[in-house]
Amino acid sequence: MRESAPGPDSGRGTAAEIQAAGAVLWRAGNHGAGNHGAGNDGAEVALVHRPRYDDWSFPKGKRHKREQLPVTAVREVAEETGVRVVLRRRLRPVHYLREGRPKRVDYWAAREAGGPQAGFVPNDEVDRVEWLSLPAARERLTYPHDGAVLDDFASGPADTIPHILLRHASAGDKAAWRGDDLLRPLDERGEADAETLAGLLACFGPHEVISSAAERCVATLRPYAARAGRAVRAEPAFTLRAGARKQPGCRTGGGDTPGTPSAGGVAGDSDSLTAARHRLTELVSRGVPFVLCGHGEMMAPLVTHACALLGARPPEDPALPKAGLWVLHAAHGGLAAIERHHAADALGGSRARGVTSGRPEKVERVGVNAEPLPQDPPGGVHAGHAVHPGPWGDGR
370-382 in b/e form (b: 16+ CB < 10 A) is eebbeebeeebbe
Residue 8 maps to a domain: no
The pLDDT of residue 1: 53
CB distance 157 to 204 below 8 Å: no
Question: What CATH number is given to the structural domain containing 24?
Answer: 3.90.79.10
Q: Which of 108, 133, 154 is the last residue of a domain?
A: 154
**DSSP codes of every residue in 102-120:** EEEEEEEEEEEPSS-----
Instruction: Please tell me whether residues 171 and 305 are part of one structural domain.
Output: yes
Both 62 and 35 in one domain: the answer is yes
Supply the range of the domain harboring residue 32: 18-154
Domain count, the chain: 2
Judgement on whether residues 100 and 143 belong to the same structural domain of the protein: yes
Q: How far apart are the first and last CA of the chain?
A: 29
149 and 264 together in one domain = no
**Could you tell me if 107 and 168 lie in one domain?**
no
| Residue pair 196/175 in contact by the 8 Å Cβ criterion | no
Interior CA angle at 78 toward 223 and 86, to 5°?
55
Question: Do 189 and 65 reside in the same domain of the chain?
Answer: no
- Identify the DSSP state of 240: P
Q: Is residue 369 part of a domain?
A: no
Answer yes or no: are the C-beta atoms of 292 and 210 closer than 8 Å.
Answer: yes
Using DSSP's 3-state secondary structure scheme, residue 394 falls into coil
Residue 42 is predicted with a pLDDT of 86
Domain membership of residue 311 (yes or no) is yes
CB 344 within 8 A of CB 354: no
- Do 144 and 186 belong to one domain? no
**pLDDT at position 122:** 94
- Check whether residue 108 and residue 247 sit in a common domain: no
Which one of 154, 176, 202 terminates a domain?
154
| CATH number reported for the structural domain that contains residue 271 in this entry | 3.40.50.1240
pTM of the model: 0.81
- Give the pLDDT of the chain (396 residues) as one tens digit per residue: 554 444 443 333 347 899 999 999 999 986 444 444 445 668 999 999 999 999 999 999 999 999 999 999 999 999 999 999 999 999 999 999 988 899 999 999 999 998 889 899 999 999 999 999 999 999 999 999 999 999 999 999 999 999 999 999 999 998 898 888 899 999 999 999 999 999 999 999 989 999 999 999 999 999 999 999 999 999 999 998 655 444 444 444 333 333 333 323 334 454 789 999 999 999 999 999 999 999 999 999 999 999 999 999 999 999 999 999 999 999 999 999 999 999 988 664 334 333 334 556 666 545 332 233 223 333 232 222 233 333 222 222
Query: Cβ neighbours of residue 103 under 8 Å, at least 6 residues apart?
Result: 5, 17, 18, 19, 20, 95, 96, 97
Cβ neighbors of 38 (< 8 A, separation 6 or more) are: 156, 157, 331, 332, 376, 377, 379, 380, 381, 387
Question: Pairing mode, if any, of strands 359-361 and 334-342?
Answer: antiparallel
Domain identity same for 233 and 349: yes
The alpha helices in 161-235, defined as continuous H runs, are 188-202, 215-228
Q: Are residues 305 and 203 in the same domain?
A: yes
Rounded Cα gap, residues 88 and 337, in angstroms? 9
